[in-house]
């Protein structure tokens, strides 16, 4: 039997055990023993009556009357003595034998507790089908009379309920957060806790906030990165221009420089150069010269594929820096950063000082301001490039997390407003108001790096 039915038996048996039912009964003798004693008394009385009848026949009427009265008195005394003896025996037994645990002390002829418990058990067994097939919900369910009785007094005298419309909007927003929260949990990653990565994220946040200092740093870093990626193409262009210097070939080199304008259209520029090469190639006398020119155009196309490639080529031509080997020197420094702790700025400054001449030559090309051309600035530059190379993929995943948090923020702010307005001190809250908000842990974890989005919302 389940705990529920044991509780029901307890609630029925205990109250019944407190009642006293006045039914006279001899607790000392069993029914058979009692009948046997009564029969014995009756036999003695019958014997006495028989003797009286014989004496009446033999003696005088007066003496008969005296003997009859004496016999009646003896009969009466015999009954009284027998009754007193039985009561005395009962008293002695109760005094000498303590009551067992399951039998309560009898008084005024009340039923024993074990009898009451038996009655309660029978009632429980009888009530079992009712309780099993509907009684439980009838007594304790949401639509039970007890629940309705409690709700009536609670609505009348207790705290007010949260309005239905407000509760509906809260629960709908909670469902939205639950769906988004599952995606947030999947995107969250231990690599986002890496201190180097978080340093890179702070730089990116500063760039998004249009911080001038970091914008200059980012512009110079992008140009330098473009030069490092395309350094081989720059070196091949340099070698071609130095080795093949016929009039027609130099005409092509000048044409390239003239069309590298500041607001250049990449495809338009490449089409013009291709057209000029088609014009010059038939005029070349040697096959070697023709091949060299074709390789020259190929390297320009490779440089143009990079976002900042043509701009960097224009700046090299503008500042007449034909020594593209400085790109290789800086590229070698950045390659040395692999496996190093990029947070150690002092070590980076030392590496810059050893190659300071190369950085000075590149400074105007990568648009480092004149006032900032110092080892510390160049160290920040290579540090940023090293962070980009190392954490580019992680930052892409982190950006997806931030975008999802931006979507998550809308229902979260609505729930926060509702819960701040409808508090447990003033309202009777539904269970949904006490649930944890899905995804809140992830938001709190990265709230610092989500600051600019919060400012936009406010």
Tens-place pLDDT, residues 335-358: 998 888 898 888 899 999 999 999
Q: What is the DSSP letter of 365?
A: T
Q: What's the whole-number mean pLDDT along residues 43-55?
A: 66
pLDDT band at 116 (very low <50, low <70, confident <90, very high): low
Among 74-78, 133-137, 166-170, 370-374, which stretch is predicted with the lowest mean pLDDT? Answer: 133-137
Q: What's the whole-number mean pLDDT along residues 247-270?
A: 90
Q: Which among 283, 161, 163, 293 has a CA at the least distance from the CA of 240?
A: 293
Q: What's the whole-number mean pLDDT along residues 91-98?
A: 49
Q: Which has the higher per-residue pLDDT, 44 or 405?
A: 405
Q: What's the whole-number mean pLDDT along residues 252-257?
A: 92
Q: What's the whole-number mean pLDDT along residues 208-225?
A: 88
Angstrom distances, CA of residue 114 to CA of 64, 99, 102, 120: 55, 12, 6, 10
Q: What angle do CA 165, 171, 172 make, to 5 degrees?
A: 90
Q: Which has the higher per-residue pLDDT, 108 or 295?
A: 295
- Looking at every residue in the chain, the average pLDDT score rounds to 77
Indicate the helix (H) or strand (E) that contains 353: helix 345-354
Looking at residue 17, its pLDDT comes to 42
Q: What's the whole-number mean pLDDT along residues 311-338?
A: 87
Among 172-176, 208-212, 395-399, which stretch is predicted with the lowest mean pLDDT? Answer: 208-212
Does pLDDT of 221 surpass 70?
yes
Among 129-133, 156-160, 305-309, 409-413, which stretch is predicted with the lowest mean pLDDT? Answer: 129-133
Q: What's the whole-number mean pLDDT along residues 406-433?
A: 92
Q: Which among 17, 75, 66 has a CA at the least distance from the CA of 46?
A: 75
Helix, strand or coil, per DSSP, at residue 145: helix
**70 Cβ neighbours under 8 A, 6+ residues apart:** none
Looking at residue 14, its pLDDT comes to 43
Looking at residue 19, its pLDDT comes to 39
| Residue boundaries of the structural domains of the chain | 1-21+111-158, 23-103, 165-217+341-346+358-458
pLDDT band at 179 (very low <50, low <70, confident <90, very high): very high
pTM: 0.59
Give 3-state DSSP helix, strand, coil % of the chain, rounded to 5.
Answer: 75, 0, 20
Looking at residue 72, its pLDDT comes to 63
Q: What's the whole-number mean pLDDT along residues 94-100?
A: 47
Looking at residue 375, its pLDDT comes to 94
Looking at residue 160, its pLDDT comes to 85
pLDDT in tens, 261-314: 888 889 999 999 999 999 999 988 899 999 999 999 999 999 999 989 999 999
Looking at residue 323, its pLDDT comes to 77
Burial class (CB in 10 A: 0-12, 13-18, 19+), 38: exposed
Does pLDDT of 2 surpass 50?
no
Does pLDDT of 434 surpass 70?
yes
């Amino acid at each position: 039997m389940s705990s529920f039915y044991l509780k029901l038996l307890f609630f029925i048996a205990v109250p019944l055990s407190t009642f006293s039912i006045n039914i006279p009964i001899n607790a000392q003798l069993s029914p058979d023993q009692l009948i046997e004693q009564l029969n014995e008394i009756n036999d003695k009385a019958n014997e006495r009556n028989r003797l009286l009848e014989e004496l009446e026949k033999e003696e005088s009427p007066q003496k008969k009357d005296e003997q009859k009265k004496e016999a009646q008195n003896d009969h009466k005394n015999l009954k009284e003595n027998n009754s007193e003896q039985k009561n005395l025996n009962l008293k002695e037994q109760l005094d000498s034998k303590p009551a067992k645990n399951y039998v309560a002390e009898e008084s005024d002829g009340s039923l024993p507790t074990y009898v009451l418990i038996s009655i309660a058990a029978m009632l429980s067994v009888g009530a079992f089908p009712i309780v099993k097939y509907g009684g439980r919900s009838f007594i304790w369910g949401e639509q039970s009379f007890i629940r309705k009785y409690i709700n009536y007094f609670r609505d009348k005298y207790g705290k007010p309920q949260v309005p239905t419309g407000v509760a509906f909007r809260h629960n709908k927003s909670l469902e939205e957060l639950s769906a988004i929260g599952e995606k947030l949990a999947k995107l969250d990653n231990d690599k986002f806790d890496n201190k180097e990565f978080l340093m890179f994220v702070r730089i990116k946040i500063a760039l998004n906030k249009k911080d001038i200092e970091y914008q200059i740093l980012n512009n110079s870093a992008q140009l330098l990165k473009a030069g490092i990626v395309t350094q081989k193409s720059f070196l091949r262009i340099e070698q071609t221009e130095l080795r093949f210097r016929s009039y027609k070939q130099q005409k092509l080199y000048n044409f390239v420089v003239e069309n590298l304008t500041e607001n250049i259209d990449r495809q338009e520029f490449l089409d013009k150069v291709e057209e000029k090469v088609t014009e010059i190639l038939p005029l070349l006398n040697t096959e070697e010269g023709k091949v060299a020119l074709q390789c020259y155009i190929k390297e320009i196309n490779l440089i143009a594929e990079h976002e900042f490639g043509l701009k960097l080529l224009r700046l090299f031509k503008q500042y007449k820096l034909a020594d593209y080997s400085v790109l290789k020197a800086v590229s070698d420094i950045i390659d040395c950063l692999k496996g190093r702790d990029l947070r150690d700025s002092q070590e980076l400054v030392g590496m810059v000082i050893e190659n300071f001449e190369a950085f000075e030559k590149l400074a105007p090309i990568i648009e480092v301001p004149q006032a900032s051309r110092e080892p510390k600035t160049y160290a920040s530059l290579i540090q940023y490039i090293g962070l980009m190379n190392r954490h580019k993929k992680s930052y892409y995943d982190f950006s997806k997390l931030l975008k999802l948090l931006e979507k998550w923020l809308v229902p979260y702010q609505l729930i926060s407003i509702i819960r701040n307005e409808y508090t447990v001190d003033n309202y009777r809250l539904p269970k949904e108001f006490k649930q944890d908000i899905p995804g809140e842990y992830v938001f709190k974890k990265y709230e610092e790096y989500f600051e600019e989005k919060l400012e936009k919302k406010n």
